[in-house]
Chains A and B, each alone.
Chain A
Amino acid sequence: MITAERKPMEEILASVEPFSKILLLGCNECVTVCHAGGRKEVALLASALRLARLQQGAPLEVEELTLERQCDPEYVEELARDIDKYDAVCSMACGCGVQTVAERYAGLPVMPMVNTAFMGASEAHGIWAERCAGCGDCVLGYTGGICPVARCSKRIFNGPCGGSTKGKCEISPDVDCAWQLIWDRLKQLGQTELYSKIMEPKDWRTARDGGPRRIVREDMAL
């Protein structure tokens, strides 16, 4: 999932300062699962904003809505009927959702209420960790299901480097060395021959280095 965290209240309050009526817009997908921008978080932030503004003597009318998916034009279209009622839309979705809403309602300020962080998985309740960097050319089949792009600090393909000590990365004793994990898992799978194979330099054009990416599926297009 895409993970996110609510922005600091100081920044949020400053961004809504010019407005008197906003739509606080959540998303029912990734940000709901990582407890950053779902229905509950929308209710909590709406209440906090109302309290803060009442205390400042400048009441803020906050309408709450959570769309099924904010990065999908067909759901964002649902806002069309009432959108003129608001001074601004404050989105609690990831950057994809914010931009979809901003593109559709170009005449209205659309502001992010969360910082989109990374593509991650849940390690335990309340803990998420980065697992995928969206490099566009997956190598998990050769690395025992552990990603050297997302989980190795140096993103190296023939690790470990000299900074690996007792299974930990040199950047922090809390960070596992991805290549130690890869080796351990390949041993467990009886696939250590995969480790011996030298990986070719990666073509990063499939990742962000090739510029903004698109997927076009002509079989799906209407």
Chain B
Amino acid sequence: MSEFEPVVVVFACDYCAYTAADVAGRMNLEYPPGVRIIRVPCTGKVDSVHVLRALEKGADGVLVAGCLEGDCHFKNGNLRAAARVKALQQLLDDINIGGGRVAMVHMSAGQGAVFAETARQFCESISSLGPNPIKRAARQAA
């Protein structure tokens, strides 16, 4: 499994994590190439369905990256996203896909290093879980 390079979709809030990813780039910090960033106006806008659809389309993990607690531009969108992610983790456990494939993280716009490190750590944890099980099943069926 050493060659497994997980595809991780990051729903990144425009006001923090997306800018932090930009800062990471400007600092020439490396993070895994499988990280695919989708800019959202607030993590509160990330619907549970968006996360499941990412997994349905073959992502190995999904990270929802929002502002630090108390710093949401829209007051509490990040906290609402965190509650949704918690419910999704339970749902994914219930259907044996694994709740560990989804996580919520918080950071500020200036924390480029935190973004890179968080992305690296999450990819590592997804690597240990292995590929999205729906891909395994599809390969076996083929």
Contacts and interface: CB of A to CB of B under 8 A. Distances in A.
B97 A52 contact: yes
A96 B138 CA distance: 39
Interface residues of B, number: 19
B56 A51 contact: yes
Given A44-B49, A47-B49, A54-B138, A8 B56 contact: no
B137 A40 contact: no
Classify the secondary structure of A's interface with B: helix
B131 to A, nearest CB: 11
Given A9-B94, A13-B95, A40-B47, A51 B52 contact: yes
Contact of B141 (A8, A9, A48, A57): A57
Contacts, number: 45
B55 interface: yes
A44 B56 CA distance: 11
Nearest to A50: B56
A10 interface: yes
Interface string B14-58: 000000000000000000000000000000000111001101100
Contacts of A48: 52, 91, 95
Interface in A24-59: 40, 43-44, 47-48, 50-52, 54-57
Interface of A: 8-10, 13, 40, 43-44, 47-48, 50-52, 54-57
Interface of B: 47-49, 52-53, 55-56, 91, 94-97, 133-134, 136-138, 140-141
Given A48-B91, A51-B55, A57-B141, 5 more contacts: A44-B48, A48-B95, A51-B52, A52-B96, A56-B137
